[in-house]
Amino acid sequence: MTFEGRVAIVTGGARGIGEGIASALAAGGAKIAIFDLDGEAAEATAAALGVEAIGLAVDCIEETDVAAATEKVVARFGAIDILANNAGAGRGPIDLSQFQGQEGLLRGGALSDNQAQWDLTLAQNLRTTFLASKAAVPHIAARGGGSIVNIASIAGQVASPTLAAYAAAKAGVISLTRSMALELGPKGIRVNAICPGFLWTRAWEGLATSIQMSNPAMKDLTPREVFLNVVKQGVPLGREQTPADIGNLAAFLSSDLGMNITGQAIAVDGGITLR
């Protein structure tokens, strides 16, 4: 897989899955622009890639921020060929059992905390994907085509108790991927989604802590040990997934080897969704 002469934007690229994607694309010779809320971390990751790269502080929820950063990439590198939409967060629980009577999800009141968490989670995961794509698509089209890879989640493919907002957002990313693939295909732009399984990230560290608090049998385990226990019980292949796993698939889908693949949502989950 070679990306010589190609330019890639990776949102949420300073660490974790985003860093894995940036590293895989850089290994093929792509020029990289990393968008991240943490501008210093984005710059540090960019500097370590070993290719021409920049790191920019970008809030991908804000349209003006994303548009301005995208124009900086074009001014620096002259083009955009690849977009990896990885920016996302917000696994906070939503208690669906409270959605009763006159006080519903969209009515505020006693459910204002739930509503705020719902709105923020959809913004962090679905709005970010839409806005970065909106800004990049004209530039990718001007190159005669290219690739967009959206990072969804297996949570968007299977029922996820207590993660209703996150699951809904990631299901939205999958649906948006398919719609974009149909609309942008005539422009030569391929759009695919990757659905990661269990990766040890900052989000999972917090989730592991929550699992530990609600499961007395795990009270003496570290969050990392809790995570590995979940992996052992829930992943048919018996091993965790890594940012490199996601990065390698993103690179394949963005390369000429994947030139006839579009509109797909591919799980990289060790078989979790087979259950």
CATH at 249: 3.40.50.720
Strand segments, DSSP code E, in the chain are 7-11, 31-36, 53-57, 82-85, 146-151, 189-196, 265-268
Q: What end-to-end distance do the CA atoms of the chain give, in Å? A: 33
> What's the CA gap between 104 and 115, in Å, rounded?
9
Q: Is the dihedral of CA 196, 202, 205, 209 positive or negative?
A: negative
Dihedral Cα 47, 48, 53, 56, nearest 10 deg: -60
Would you mind telling me the total number of residues written for the chain in this entry?
275
Same structural domain, 194 and 207? no
Using the structure block, give the residue that is written with the tokens 């301005």: 68
H-state helical runs in 143-274:
164-184, 202-214, 223-234, 243-254
Same structural domain, 211 and 187? no
Same structural domain, 268 and 248? yes
> What's the CA gap between 234 and 89, in Å, rounded?
22
- Selecting among 3, 130, 166, 227, the annotated active-site residue is 166
The mean pLDDT values, 10 residues at a time, for the chain of 275 residues are 97 97 98 98 98 98 98 98 93 60 44 75 96 98 98 92 88 98 98 97 81 86 93 96 98 98 98 93
> What's the CA gap between 50 and 260, in Å, rounded?
30
Same structural domain, 180 and 61? yes
pLDDT at 87: 97
pLDDT at 104: 45
Same structural domain, 34 and 167? yes
1 occurs within a structural domain:
no
Q: Which amino acid, one-letter code, is at 262?
A: T
Among this protein's residues, is 166 annotated catalytic?
yes
pLDDT at 9: 99
Burial class (CB in 10 A: 0-12, 13-18, 19+), 91: buried
As separate numbers, helices (DSSP H) first and strands (DSSP E) second, the chain gives: 9, 7
Same structural domain, 118 and 155? yes
Same structural domain, 88 and 223? no
Query: Which pTM does this prediction carry?
Result: 0.92
pLDDT at 95: 62
Same structural domain, 208 and 193? no
Q: Are strands 53-57 and 82-85 parallel, antiparallel or unpaired?
A: unpaired
Same structural domain, 232 and 153? no
Same structural domain, 208 and 259? no
Q: Which domain holds residue 259?
A: 7-199+241-274
pLDDT at 96: 64
Same structural domain, 34 and 139? yes
Task: Report the number of distinct structural domains present in the chain.
Answer: 2
pLDDT at 99: 52
